[in-house]
Amino acid sequence: MNRNHPSPFATLETSDGFLGPLWRGTMQSLLDRTREDGFCQTSFGEENGVKCYGVCHYSRDAAEAAGVLADQGCPEPAARILDFTLSHIPEGQYFIVHAYRPDGTPLHNKIQIDTPAHPARALARLLETGADDPALPRCFDRLDRVFDDTWRHHFHAAFRLLDSGNYNEQLGGGTEPLLDLFTNGAMYGGCLAMAEAARLLNRPAIVTERYLERAALLDRGIDHWLYDPAADLYRAALRPDGKAEERPLNWINLYPERWYPGRRSAWRRAFEELWRAEHCNDWGGLRVPSGETGFMKLRTMGKVIGQMLRFAARSGDDRRLEVLLEFLRRTVRRPADLYPEYWLHHLPSPGQSPYLDWFFGEFEGVWNGFAEDPAADYTVDSGNCEQCAVFLGCFSGDVLGFSAGGGKVEAAPRLPGTAVAEVRNRALGVHRGRRVAGGFRLDAHELEFTAEAPVEELTLTLPFYAGEAPAPVGCEPPEAEVKLDERGATAVFRNVSSARLTRLKG
């Protein structure tokens, strides 16, 4: 991996000296693993060359990477990734290949119905940021066919839900086509993304309307069949006969909030439940959710921590957010600038799972559990594509709170326990035919934003953390109105290239 050459994405510097290198190393890995033809390597960057999943391009994982690259001002590799995924679907096949070999032939060709949602979201993000790659209309047309065929083969009108296909990877790898929360939450977001992509590509209004109608159907199906009002929780899955698939609460009960806003109280309930002692592991005095149950509690997946970071930041749960950030500082170590697929808390017992028996036999001595040896390397498959991309997206969009698109920019960072944070060279969009960038600097008293060109609408939020009383805040330019609540001071500026919020004394 070349971490020294100039990169087009944003840089982050923080007073802890850790989050910046983790951001840069992980972000750089997405660029370095992507070939000129768009092949995007899933396992990447282990110190001793281990690639847990071989040399392959997982379509869902690669799409998550494409979305982050698009968001961070790297449209060319993002477009190539999507084009590789969609141009290598075998002739006559209606679904996207689960995983490709480097030559574009299928490695794993099972049907996972959530898969098209992820390239759809990446495509919409590319178009929102002003990308004009000639591959993008072609990608939309291919995705449009995939969505139409998916609807014909897998939509159950009686439930207003899609089934999961013939491989329930997120629910243990079974073949039964469950009506599950992960698939339908993802495809709800995918339908909204396709509607937005159709609009931005100037497709007929009927195309946009079709996707909005599909999203509305899934919304009603999820709310009626997968929401449990007695528990105020979303169920993980429904069986095709309409009976609930009884499963213990785990990360699935929270994770689809990334794509499906649904009932806030149900997501909050799942978040709180996952922080209960029986769902957590102790990492040297830090109690952190595993997201798993039973013997699988031995691991904590990277995307679960990413979503936990997102939810804690969005809900202003500073205590949990600070625990999660400290967990990263203490545990991401080999290498210290690559996000892992999962953290291994303790080793499995023989016979608990054929997969675990194979995995820890195949990679014996490479990783050890924290409980067995706290000084060991327990960050498994560092640089895993999906986990890296989910972390980067959640960290950038929700912890740093930095988003841009359609002439609007928002910076609402939330970094408890971090004295100073500075973001530079964040892609903001296109101004007068050229890409422009900007950034912000946050310390305990001030949030300052600068950009290379005026921003039509800029929203800044200077955070107040737990235990801090709302304080008077001044702003420059002074025309903006500052609104205070328990989470921070927010102001909206128009047509500015710089702005500042400052906590006033007294």
DSSP code, position 397: I
Q: Decide: 163 and 143 in contact? Cβ < 8 Å.
A: no
Per-residue pLDDT of the chain (506 residues; tens, 9 = 90+): 444 334 678 899 999 999 999 999 999 999 999 999 999 999 998 777 889 989 999 999 999 999 999 999 899 999 999 999 999 999 999 999 999 999 999 999 999 999 999 999 999 999 998 899 999 999 999 999 999 999 999 999 999 999 999 877 777 777 788 999 999 999 999 999 999 999 999 999 999 999 999 999 999 999 999 999 999 999 999 998 888 888 899 999 999 999 999 999 999 999 999 999 999 999 999 999 999 999 999 999 999 999 999 999 999 999 999 999 999 999 998 898 999 999 999 999 999 999 899 999 999 889 999 999 999 999 999 999 999 999 999 999 999 999 998 889 999 999 999 999 999 999 998 777 778 899 999 999 999 999 999 999 999 999 999 888 888 999 999 989 899 999 999 999 999 999 999 999 86
For domain 33-263, which CATH number applies: 3.40.50.300, 3.30.470.20, 1.10.1240.10, 1.50.10.10? 1.50.10.10
């959710």: which residue's tokens? 289
Domain 402-503 has CATH 3.30.465.10: no
Three-point CA angle 191, 194, 198, nearest 5°: 145
| Residue 323 near residue 286, CB atoms below 8 Å | yes
Q: If you write DSSP's letter for every residue of 294-341 in order, what string do you get?
A: GGGGGEEEHHHHHHHHHHHHHHT-HHHHHHHHHHHHHH--TTTTS--S
Q: Give the pair of three-digit tokens for residue 29.
A: 């890995």
Domains of the chain, by residue range, sit at 33-263, 275-399, 402-503
CB 158 within 8 A of CB 165: no
